Amino acid sequence: MLRGTLRSFPANGHAAFLPQIRKLVFECCDRWPSSETTRNYLFTRLVGLARDNPHVEIVVRQRVHREPIVRGFYINNRDKVIPLNGLSLAEITQKVHLLLDSSGAKIKPLKRRTVESNTESVRGIWSGLHADRPDL
């Protein structure tokens, strides 16, 4: 048995669950009209969002003369950026919830990966030398 196979794999949610998102950064311009809805969101819904998600650090930054964005930082050191120009209030709320629900992992095809398991097979692997000899 190689020493490298004796490691343990992280299993978030097995014994304890750690939310994967750590910080949300809202960046918008104070003057440009493309940031109008984002500014409205920050004034009306941001405090409620912060209260509902105490595990997330929420930061508001100025992004002068640029389009508004929201950036989510995750525990695996990756970040997700979503531009918010042209979105309504409800759509901005939807994008923020998308960031809050995500784990930060790269988007990968999930259609065929129903059960992902590192556990060895419980009933053992069939061996022809230890089975009944077939009667033909």
Partner 1 sequence: MLARLARTVPALCRAVHTQQPASTAAALELIRSQPSHYIIANFVGRKYILTPRDVLTVPRLRDVKVGDVLTLDEIHELGSREYTLRGNPTISPSRVRVQATVVEHTKGKMEFIFKKKRRKGYQKTITHKQPYTRLRIGEIEIPIESSS
Applying CB under 8 A, which residues contact partner 1? Answer: 9, 11-15, 17, 19-20, 100-103, 105, 107-111, 113-120, 122-124, 132-133, 135
The token duo for 12 is 């978030």
Q: Which CB atom, from 119 or from 127, has the smaller least distance to partner 1?
A: 119
Closest approach, Cβ 27 to partner 1, in A, equals 23
Closest approach, Cβ 123 to partner 1, in A, equals 6
Q: Which CB atom, from 124 or from 128, has the smaller least distance to partner 1?
A: 124
Q: Which CB atom, from 51 or from 123, has the smaller least distance to partner 1?
A: 123
The distance of Cα 130 from the centroid of its chain, to the nearest Å, equals 46
Closest approach, Cβ 115 to partner 1, in A, equals 6
Phi then psi for residue 51, to 5 deg, are -70, -35
The single residue listed with the structure tokens 């995750």 is 74
Cα–Cα distances in Å, from 20 out to 23, 42, 47, 58, 101?
10, 23, 21, 14, 9
